[in-house]
């Protein structure tokens, strides 16, 4: 893998990935969709490993959307099996490398054995201080927003907060992603130009990178390409080039969104 040209001081703090194209990868090879997901799991391993080696603190993976429950039962079952196997098999490595696992989404919809393995892995890794891997499982960006509205409405109703006190920081604090910074880079494989109900609130100034490469083929080399492209982008967060040149970029750091507009 060629890391030349990658500026190790300007890596993203948080990379989010919409892993797409497992089915097409399989169809192109006359294999079953499940074989595509199996190969996709190897790409998951590759990006987690490289993120860790590079020192990227947060990696979020959109592994299963709420809409994915509508897929044929066999495929859903196979995906759940792969997920469970991945969680069990990778846990020793996560402990060895200090990886903390977080899961977001409607976890209660997961089959009991998967939920059990997931909870166990989250619990076991919760004190790890290395990188954080966020698995979005049965996740829906809109659902996350609905839950946030319910949470804040409840506080207002109970008199614990006034309507005028609702601000962006409070909204972020009621999302499932409350403990993680907004992504700096969102990668989508397989060429589709969509967000597909992944992070909606969290990506106002996230750099988007779409590659035609199908997820099972997205390995270290492709990931490095995406990171290099990210480093070529000029992030202005709504400001002008001139302001950035004058050094106002120091104000534009992850943290409160209020600082960025």
* Active site (catalytic) residues: 20, 68
CB of 227 to ligand FPP, least distance (A): 20
- Phi, psi (rounded to 5 degrees) for 96: -60, -40
Residues 191 and 194: their CA atoms lie apart, in Å, by 9
134 part of the interface to ligand FPP, by CB under 6 A: no
Residues 15 and 60: their CA atoms lie apart, in Å, by 6
Single residue of 82, 115, 124, 166 touching ligand FPP by CB under 6 A: 82
DSSP label at 183?
P
Single residue of 12, 21, 105, 141 touching ligand FPP by CB under 6 A: 21
Q: Which two structure tokens, joined as six digits, stand for 70?
A: 């509508």
Integer-rounded Cα Rg, in Å, for the chain is 19
Is the CB of 177 or the CB of 190 nearer to ligand FPP?
190
List the Cα angle 98/112/215 in 5-degree steps: 55
Site for ligand FPP in 177-216 (CB under 6 A): 190, 215
Residues 190 and 210: their CA atoms lie apart, in Å, by 8
Site pattern 29..68 for ligand FPP (x: CB under 6 A):
--------x--xx--x----------------x-x----x
Q: CB 30: neighbour CB atoms within 10 A? A: 7
DSSP label at 1?
-
Is the CB of 11 or the CB of 134 nearer to ligand FPP?
134
Single residue of 24, 143, 155, 235 touching ligand FPP by CB under 6 A: 24
Question: Which residue lies nearest ligand FPP, judged by its C-beta?
Answer: 23
83 part of the interface to ligand FPP, by CB under 6 A: yes
Is the CB of 20 or the CB of 176 nearer to ligand FPP?
20
CB of 70 to ligand FPP, least distance (A): 11
Residues 141 and 235: their CA atoms lie apart, in Å, by 24
Q: Which two structure tokens, joined as six digits, stand for 59?
A: 């990696």
Residues 186 and 199: their CA atoms lie apart, in Å, by 9
CB of 137 to ligand FPP, least distance (A): 8
Single residue of 11, 15, 16, 19 touching ligand FPP by CB under 6 A: 19
Residues 137 and 140: their CA atoms lie apart, in Å, by 9
Single residue of 22, 132, 140, 202 touching ligand FPP by CB under 6 A: 22
**Contact residues: ligand FPP, CB under 6 A:** 19-24, 37, 40-41, 44, 61, 63, 68, 79, 82-83, 86, 135, 190, 215
């Amino acid at each position: 893998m060629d890391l030349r040209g990658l500026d190790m001081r300007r890596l993203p703090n948080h990379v989010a990935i919409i892993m797409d194209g497992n089915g097409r990868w399989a169809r192109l090879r006359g294999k079953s969709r499940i074989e595509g997901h199996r190969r996709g799991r190897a790409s998951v391993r590759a990006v987690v490993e490289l993120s860790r080696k590079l020192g990227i603190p947060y990696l979020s993976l959109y592994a299963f959307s709420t809409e994915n429950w509508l897929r044929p039962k066999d495929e859903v079952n196979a995906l759940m099996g792969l997920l469970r196997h991945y969680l069990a098999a990778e846990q020793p490595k996560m402990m060895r490398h200090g990886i903390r696992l977080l899961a977001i989404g409607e976890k209660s919809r997961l089959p009991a054995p998967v939920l059990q393995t997931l909870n166990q892995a989250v619990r076991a890794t919760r004190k790890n201080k290395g990188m954080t891997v966020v698995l979005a499982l049965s996740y829906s960006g809109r659902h996350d927003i609905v839950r946030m509205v319910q949470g804040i409405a409840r506080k207002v109703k109970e008199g614990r907060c006034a309507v005028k006190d609702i601000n962006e920081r409070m909204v972020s604090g009621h999302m499932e992603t409350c403990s993680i910074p907004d992504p700096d880079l969102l990668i989508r494989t397989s060429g589709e130009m969509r967000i597909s109900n992944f992070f909606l609130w969290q990506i106002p100034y996230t750099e988007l990178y779409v590659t035609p490469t199908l997820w099972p083929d997205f390995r270290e080399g492709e990931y490095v390409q995406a990171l290099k492209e990210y480093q070529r982008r000029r992030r202005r967060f709504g400001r002008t080039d001139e302001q950035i040149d004058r050094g106002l970029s120091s104000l534009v750091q992850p943290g409160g969104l209020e600082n960025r507009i």
